[in-house]
Structure formats: C-alpha cells, structure tokens
Amino acid sequence: MKTQTNSNKCQTCGKKGHDYENEEIMGCVPPKDVLKFGKYSIDKSYRNALYELYPFYTAEEIVGFYLGHNPYFVDQNTWLDEQK
Ligand SMILES: [Zn+2]
C-alpha cells in the first residue's frame, strides 16, 4: 500500500520534487510549504496569503511578488507592514 503523499513529486512537471532552495526551478509551481527560493526566504504568512490568491503561480512569479515586481500584489515588506 502506498502511504507516501505527492509532496515529493512536482505537481507541475511530474518529476521528483525540486529543491527550490538550491536549484533554480523557476517554471514550476512549488508546494505551499516551500518558503526558500534560492537566496530568498519568504515569510510564511505572506506565502500563505499569496497562495490563497494565486495557488498556481510558479517559483519565479512568487519571487517576483516578494520583490514587488508584480503589480497585482504588494511586496513582502509592505504586506507585513499592513498586517500590523
Ligand atoms: Zn517541476
């Protein structure tokens, strides 16, 4: 019986789950619990907020949000400020 979940498998390309922290996997949609993308470490609540709005965004787009490159959502620092 298979007890393993799909979390070890990439939902986008079907390959073995990626190491988003150490590999440059920009075109795949990371699991919700992935918070590290290369040198970027994303705040968990910010990541959750993004995920609820845009669950199918790729690693590249998530980093873009984080850095404030995406006009549809504020960057992490602004967002965290707004939560206070
Ligand atoms: Zn993939």
* Whole-number Å distance between alpha carbons of 30 and 27: 9
Number of domains in the chain: 1
Cα(15) to ligand 1 centroid in Å equals 6
Confidence at residue 36, expressed as pLDDT on a 0 to 100 scale: 97
Q: What is the pTM of this model?
A: 0.85
pLDDT band at 84 (very low <50, low <70, confident <90, very high): confident
pLDDT band at 2 (very low <50, low <70, confident <90, very high): very low
4 found inside a domain: no
Q: Which two tokens stand for residue 80?
A: 């965290």
Contact predicate 62/26, CB 8 Å? no
Cα(75) to ligand 1 centroid in Å equals 25
Question: For 16, which DSSP code?
Answer: B
24 found inside a domain: yes
3 found inside a domain: no
pLDDT band at 1 (very low <50, low <70, confident <90, very high): low
Cα(71) to ligand 1 centroid in Å equals 25
Cα(81) to ligand 1 centroid in Å equals 32
User: 65 is in which domain, residue-wise?
Assistant: 10-82
74 found inside a domain: yes
Confidence at residue 7, expressed as pLDDT on a 0 to 100 scale: 58
* Whole-number Å distance between alpha carbons of 79 and 56: 20
In tens, the pLDDT along 7-57 reads: 589 989 999 999 999 999 999 999 999 999 999 999 999 999 999 999 999
Contact predicate 20/12, CB 8 Å? no
Cα(13) to ligand 1 centroid in Å equals 4
Cα(1) to ligand 1 centroid in Å equals 25
Question: For 28, which DSSP code?
Answer: S
Contact predicate 42/35, CB 8 Å? yes
